[in-house]
Structure 1
C-alpha cells in the first residue's frame, strides 16, 4: 500500500498521461533553409530522391582491380573522387584509386595500397579478395526510402544527412508561442536592494533558457502582483497570443495563491496536485484557446516540474515525438532520506568509482528552495513513489541531466 503525504495526490506517470492526452500539436508549418533547420521539428517524413552513395565507390586508397589468373597487373589509369576513370578495366588490369572515387567499370575489388608492390606500370598484390573494400551504391540510403520521420527534432547529423540527399529547404512546424508569468509581491529584480520580506526573482532566469533551448517564442512577464484582477488581466493578454501559458507560483492553496482562482474564472483546471517531490502543486488546464501550465513557486520545484511534466507537454505541443527519459541503475554512495508517498527527484552527482562502477551521491540539501543543489548536480536520483529511505550500497535509478538542463 502507498502511504501518500496527503490524500488525493495523482501519481506522476498517471498525471503525465492525462495531460498529454489533452495536447494537440501546432498545425502550422513553414519551409526554411536547411542551414537554419537544426533544432527545429520536422513536419513531414523525408523520402530520399537519390541513393547514397550514388554509385559503388572505393572505401580506401588502393587499386581497383579486375581479378585474373596472374600475379602481375597492368596499371592503366587513376580514379579520384570527382574525377572517375573513364575506361573499362579488363582482366589483369588495375587502376590507382582514392577513397570515395567511383569504382571503374569492370573492376570488382579494391586492394589496399599497403598490400601492393609497384614497379613502374606493373603492380602485384600480397592478398586479393574479390569484392573487398567497396562501398555499394545505396548501402547508406536507398532510393525512395524514409530518411527521417515527422516529429523529429533535427540534430546536426540529421542536417548533414539531409544535405547528403540534396535537400536545401525543409518543412518544419512553426515555433510554439509560450507566455511565462512569475507572480509574487515579494519578488525583486536582481540588482536592486532588498527590503524586509523581499527576495530576488530567480524563476524566470531558470525557466526562460529552457524555453529558449526548445526554440519557443517567449514573452516573459516577471513579478506579476499577487492580485486576482491583475493576474486575470495578464492571463487574458497572454491567451490572445500564446499556445501555452506557464506561470510560477500561486497554484497551491494559500490565501494569496490567486493564479488558480484566476484560471478557473477564465477557463478550467483539470489537475493540480501531484504525488511528486519537489513539485506537488501543479496546475494544468486552459485559458481561452491557450493551454495553461501552472508550476510551483519554489525555484527547484518549478524547474523539476518543468523538466518532468512541462517539457513533454511543450515538446508534444511543438509537434515533436517525445520519448521517455533514459533511466539507468547506479549504486547509492550514502544514505538518501525519503518518505513513501511521492516520487522523489533528488539532485545527485553521478561518477564512476575506481572499479568502474556507476555511483551517485546527494548534491546536498534537497529542499525545494535550494537552487544550489541543482547547480552542483549532474543527475536526478529518481526514487519510486512507494520507496522509503535508501541505504548506502542500494541500487537506485538516475536520470543524467540532458540538453535542457545543461
Structure 2
C-alpha cells in the first residue's frame, strides 16, 4: 500500500516555497502500483513498467522511400540524361529475388526492399518513360531516396524507458518492433471526497445558502485523465467524526485519498483534525496563489491530499502539486510540465516571495507571435475564468511588478490536464 516517507513535508511555520515542496515530493514519494501485462490497445495512457528493447532493426532492410526507379549510380551519365531498360518490378513485401544487373533500371515502389546491387532511386515524377525504357535526369546524388535498415531503431537498443507515459506514438513504436503487449504499472486507485454542509450533488435540490459540487467532478475528471481509477465517495458533512470514519473506511482499498475543502485554519475546517486522528499531516502553507491552503499527509500508510475549497484554487493546486504526486505514485519518471515563452499582454502586481498564476488566453500580435491576455477575473472561485482561458502564466517569487511586453512562462492546460 502507498507510503510517504516519514516527515517529508515537515517545514515549520513559515510559508514553504513551491520549489522546496516539489523537490521534497520528487525525492520522497515512491511508486505504489504493481505491474501487469496489457495488450497494446489497452496500454495507451498507462505508465511503462520496464525498458523496452528492440528485437529487430526498423526498417528490417534497406527500402525505397518513394515510387520510382532503382539503379546503379555508376550507370548514370553525370553530364546529361541516362536511358536504361526497365527489366523488373519490386513492390513492398515482394523482393526481386535476384541480384540486379548493371545497366538496367528496376521499377520500385515505396517501402519495397532494395534489390541487391542498385544504390540510388529516382522519383517517378522526375523520369520519362520511353516504351520499355526510362530516361533519368542528371544531378541526383548517390543514395538518394533510399532508407537504410535500422535508421529508425536498431536491434538491441532501448526504444522506450521505464516510467514513460504511453502515448499513441509509443504504442506505435512498440508495434513496429513486433510487440503485441507491454508490461505496465497498475492503475492508481484514488478515492475522492468533497466536504461541506453547504455542498450538494448536481441534480439534487440546492437549498438556500447551498452550492452544487463542482470540485469533486473536476478532480475526478483530472484524475481519470492521468490514468487513475477513481472511486467517488460523495460529500462529507462538516463533522470531524464523520470525516474520520469515511477516511478510515476508504484507506484500505486505495492508493491515495483526495478531498477538497476543510483544510484551512478555520474552526469549521475538520479535515485536518480527522487526518491527524488517523495518521499524520504536514500542513502545506505554500507560498503560492491561488491554492495556499493545501495539505499533504497520511491516513495510516495511505497518502492524503487535501485541496482548497475554492474551485479555481482546487484546480490550480491540483495541477501544480496533485498532478506530480499522482504521477510519482503511479510510477512515472517524468512529472514536469512544459512551459512556453510568450509575451505578456497585461500588467500585474504581486507580493514578492510568492509564486502566482494568472489565467490567460492567447492572442496573436502584429508580428504573428503569441501574447498572453489576462482574464478579467482573478477570483479563486470564478470557474468560468478557467473555461475561458487557454492556460496559466507563471509569475515567479522574485517578481513584484510585471510590465506589458515582458516574456513570461505560459503553462497550457493541455500540459497539465492529462489528455
Secondary structure of 1:195's counterpart equals coil
Q: CA deviation at 1:379?
A: 1.4
1:105 maps to what in 2? 116
Question: C-alpha deviations, 1:40-83, integer Å up to 9, x for none?
Answer: 11111000001011111111111111243774322211001112
RMSD over equivalenced CA pairs, Å: 1.7
2:194 maps to what in 1? 182
Pair 103,395 (structure 1): closer, same or farther in 2 beyond 3 Å: closer
Q: CA deviation at 1:19?
A: 2.5
1:56 maps to what in 2? 62
Secondary structure of 1:209's counterpart equals helix
Structure 2 CA distance, aligned partners of 1:376 and 1:308?
Answer: 19
Pick aligned residue for 2:22 from 9, 16, 19? 16
2:8 maps to what in 1? none
Structure 2 CA distance, aligned partners of 1:22 and 1:257?
Answer: 28
2:135 maps to what in 1? 124
Q: CA deviation at 1:193?
A: 3.3
User: 2:323 aligned with 1:311, yes or no?
Assistant: yes
Pick aligned residue for 1:89 from 100, 114, 122? 100
Moved more, 65-74 or 144-153: 65-74
The count of residues paired between Structure 1 and Structure 2 equals: 400
Moved more, 394-403 or 53-62: 394-403
1:72 maps to what in 2? 83
Query: Which ranges in structure 2 are unaligned for 5 or more consecutive residues?
Result: 1-12
Pair 83,257 (structure 1): closer, same or farther in 2 beyond 3 Å: same
Moved more, 338-347 or 145-154: 338-347
Q: CA deviation at 1:8?
A: 1.1
CA contact (8 A) 1:336 1:362 kept: no
Question: C-alpha deviations, 1:274-320, integer Å up to 9, x for none?
Answer: 00101111111111121111111111111100000000010111111
2:368 maps to what in 1? 356
1:4 maps to what in 2? none
Secondary structure of 2:346's counterpart equals coil
Secondary structure of 2:317's counterpart equals helix
Secondary structure of 1:320's counterpart equals coil
Pair 186,69 (structure 1): closer, same or farther in 2 beyond 3 Å: closer
Q: CA deviation at 1:340?
A: 2.4
Structure 1 CA distance, aligned partners of 2:41 and 2:339?
Answer: 33
Structure 2 CA distance, aligned partners of 1:256 and 1:331?
Answer: 42
Q: CA deviation at 1:192?
A: 3.1
User: 2:37 aligned with 1:39, yes or no?
Assistant: no
Question: C-alpha deviations, 1:159-204, integer Å up to 9, x for none?
Answer: 1111111000110000000011111011112233332321111101
Question: C-alpha deviations, 1:207-262, integer Å up to 9, x for none?
Answer: 11111111111111222011111111111111111111111111111111111111
Structure 2 CA distance, aligned partners of 1:325 and 1:333?
Answer: 23
Query: Which ranges in structure 1 are unaligned for 5 or more consecutive residues?
Result: 1-6
Pick aligned residue for 1:210 from 203, 222, 235? 222
TM-score (norm. length: structure 2): 0.91
Moved more, 183-192 or 90-99: 183-192
Q: CA deviation at 1:148?
A: 0.6
Pair 77,394 (structure 1): closer, same or farther in 2 beyond 3 Å: closer
Structure 1 CA distance, aligned partners of 2:27 and 2:375?
Answer: 34
Secondary structure of 1:236's counterpart equals helix
Trace 1:368-379 onto structure 2 (pairs within 5 A). Answer: 368-379=380-391
Pair 277,129 (structure 1): closer, same or farther in 2 beyond 3 Å: closer
Moved more, 329-338 or 45-54: 329-338
1:3 maps to what in 2? none
Q: CA deviation at 1:348?
A: 0.9
CA contact (8 A) 1:48 1:144 kept: yes
CA contact (8 A) 1:251 1:283 kept: yes
Structure 1 CA distance, aligned partners of 2:95 and 2:207?
Answer: 77
Pair 147,359 (structure 1): closer, same or farther in 2 beyond 3 Å: same
2:268 maps to what in 1? 256
Secondary structure of 1:221's counterpart equals strand
Secondary structure of 1:285's counterpart equals strand
CA contact (8 A) 2:337 2:416 kept: no
